[in-house]
Structure 1
Amino acid sequence: MSLVDDARAIREKAYAPYSNFKVGAAIRATSGKVYVGVNVENVAYPEGTCAEAGAIAAMIAGGDTRIAEVAVIADSPAPVPCCGGCRQKLAEFGDADVPVTLATVAGQSLATTIGQILPGVFNISHMQKA
């Protein structure tokens, strides 16, 4: 099973009663273990959680801290990009060259990397005193 297949399978469990826009994410940690997440909406927008954030939380809870690969899937006309917050979250746990596959339920996909989806990343080096 591919990482996109893992994201596709978990996507069905998303809680999206308001937008009906279900998103699934799968992360392969450097250990090889796969963690999945779904978007969870809340009637009080913006209190929901993105699929990528859920997968990252599962990874941390599972004892892993580094991302080796990411897949995100949604039922959209084109591969759906990660939101800005999730791009930053992915960059916290993955190097710039980590592969990211953005996919649609219909079978389209876009291969990219964390560095490509978040150029100019804010990181710990910005917090160093001059």
Structure 2
Amino acid sequence: MNNEDKPKQLGRLTLETVKSLGKGAQPYINHDFDADIQSNDRIDAMKTKVLEMPDLNMLDLSYDQIKALTDEELVKLLSGESHEGFIREPTIQLISNELLMRQIKEASKPHWTIIPTFYAVLFFGFLTIVIGILSLLKQL
């Protein structure tokens, strides 16, 4: 394999390189290459730069912690009023699902007037049957 068949080590893409490519010029001719890329020393080539992530103040709640919060607190978390920072996607989904389950549970409860009405209908039905039986006995 001769030198023309080998891939060229291009280095960093700079604004000058982009401009020269736009004008139809040969890329990377007479340009300075990145010293780290041109290095033949394997130790230099394997060095990596470690970047520290900024503190994003991520909120990550467990399911038990979410269940312990009130509806108002959960809505404030979703709207961003009670937490300065980011909320992880799974946590957002758990909060939304918990609010939805609470709403479904609340909507499926019978209204407080249902039970007294049932007993009233039962009482008046029984009273009607008794009066009907008494009126039949009176006619005999």
Q: TM-score, normalised by structure 2?
A: 0.22
Q: TM-score, normalised by structure 1?
A: 0.23
Select the structure with the greater relative contact order (CA < 8 A; seq sep ≥ 6).
Answer: 1
Rg larger in structure: 2
User: Hey, which of these two has a bigger chunk of strand by percent?
Assistant: 1
